[in-house]
């Protein structure tokens, strides 16, 4: 399944997971956002964290 095909199914899940790690905004960008993905594409996310969150919060979100 392509990233774009899977994204709508997970759209409701992603903000909740991100908020659990102190993220307040999550945006998709690059090829997936432009609907130009290829089989080699990954999912690029721009994440804004609450003030005071540590690198460990960033790592934990990336692992989830």
Domain ranges of the chain: 3-63
The 3-state DSSP class for residue 6 equals helix
CATH topology assigned to domain 3-63 = Beta Polymerase; domain 2 (3.30.460)
Separation of alpha carbons 21 and 61, rounded Å: 6
The reported pLDDT for the residue numbered 18 is: 94
Q: Which one, of 64, 58, 55, 54, lies nearest residue 16 by Cα?
A: 64
What local confidence, expressed as pLDDT, does residue 57 receive?
96
Mean pLDDT by 10 residues, the chain (64 residues): 70 90 89 76 88 96 92
Main-chain phi, psi angles of 48, to 5 degrees: -105, 125
pLDDT computed for residue 20 by the predictor: 95
């Amino acid at each position: 399944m392509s990233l774009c095909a899977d994204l709508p199914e997970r759209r409701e899940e992603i903000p909740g997971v991100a908020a659990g790690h102190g993220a307040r905004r999550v945006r998709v960008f690059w090829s997936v956002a432009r609907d130009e993905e290829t089989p080699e594409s990954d999912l690029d996310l721009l994440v804004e964290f609450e003030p005071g969150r540590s690198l460990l919060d960033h790592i934990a979100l990336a692992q989830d």
